[in-house]
């Protein structure tokens, strides 16, 4: 998504904080506007609140309830921009280590990226996303560059994820060089780029121990 695809238009400080926090977690570009400001023509989706929606003139408006989890409405916004009712092949690419890179791809396109601070946080984040995001197919691909971290994450995910979610081990060799672009901050580039490359590589399927049948 290019800068300006999404606009947050609200006078609610709480709603703004929650929505912006979610967008920043996913490293999604957005515009911040007040309800009295004109919405640029390049904006493809607007997120606002019930209190402000009457002031918003745009063909694609999403109304956020402050008490709701902002991740749900941001999922809907992304699907709208991509012209989809749901996700197709959802892939979670993971570059495990002391700091974990996570990339979520839908049919090959990057939906979001994150840097996480532990294997446990990564497992929780993936589980929440798997339960929240409807898709025809869900695959978790984990890089093999740090075997101890990879093994720990596979064990956690094998126990927690539904049995129909595929887990794969992916060779990390050649995935760590970040592209020369300002979209990748230097501190985050290596982990994020590796996670994206891992998500796009073929891996070796891990035999799941969990069986929900």
Q: Which domains does the chain have, with CATH numbers?
A: 6-81 (3.40.50), 87-205 (3.30.420.140)
* Those residues with Cβ within 8 angstroms of residue 54's Cβ, 6 or more apart along the chain or in another chain: none
Please give the Cα distance from 104 to 83 (Å, whole number): 18
pLDDT of residue 25: 81
Residue 2, pLDDT score:
46
The segment with the largest mean pLDDT, out of 105-119, 170-184, 195-209, is 195-209
| Mean pLDDT over each residue of the chain, to the nearest integer | 88
For a pLDDT cut of 70, what percent of the chain falls above it? 89
Residue range 118-149, pLDDT digits in tens:
999 999 999 999 998 888 899 999 999 999 99
Alpha-helical segments (H) within 56-137: 70-81, 119-132
Lowest mean pLDDT among 19-28, 100-109, 185-194: 185-194
In whole angstroms, what is the distance from residue 66 CA to residue 205 CA? 40
pLDDT given at position 99: 92
156, pLDDT greater than 90: yes
Burial label for 101, CB within 10 Å (0-12, 13-18, 19+), is buried
Q: E strands along the chain, which residues?
A: 6-9, 31-33, 45-49, 61-64, 87-95, 100-106, 109-116, 135-143, 166-170, 204-205
Handedness of CA 37, 43, 45, 47 (dihedral sign): negative
Residues 141, 93 contacting (CB under 8 angstroms): yes
Query: Where do we find the tokens 């994820």?
Result: 161
Cα–Cα nearest to 197, from 102, 75, 121? 102
The answer to whether the CB of 114 falls within 8 A of the CB of 25 is yes
pTM for the whole thing?
0.74
């Amino acid at each position: 998504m290019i800068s300006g695809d999404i606009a947050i238009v609200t006078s609610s400080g709480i709603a703004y904080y929650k929505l912006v926090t979610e967008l920043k977690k996913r490293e999604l570009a957005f515009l911040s506007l007040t309800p009295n400001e004109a919405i640029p023509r390049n904006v493809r989706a607007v997120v606002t609140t019930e209190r402000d929606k009457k002031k918003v003139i745009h063909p694609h408006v999403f109304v956020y309830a402050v008490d709701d989890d902002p991740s749900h409405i941001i999922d809907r916004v992304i699907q709208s921009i991509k012209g989809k009712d749901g996700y197709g092949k959802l892939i979670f690419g993971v570059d495990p280590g002391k700091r974990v890179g996570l990339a979520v791809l839908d049919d090959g396109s990057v939906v979001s990226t994150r840097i996480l601070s532990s294997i446990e946080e990564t497992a929780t984040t993936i589980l929440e996303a798997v339960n929240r995001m409807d898709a025809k197919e869900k695959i978790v691909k984990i890089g093999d560059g740090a075997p101890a971290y990879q093994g720990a994450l596979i064990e956690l995910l094998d126990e927690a994820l539904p049995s129909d979610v595929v887990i794969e081990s992916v060779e990390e060799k050649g995935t760590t060089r970040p592209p020369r672009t300002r979209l990748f901050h230097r501190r985050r580039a290596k982990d994020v780029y590796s996670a994206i490359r891992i998500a796009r590589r073929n891996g070796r399927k891990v035999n799941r121990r969990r069986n929900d049948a």
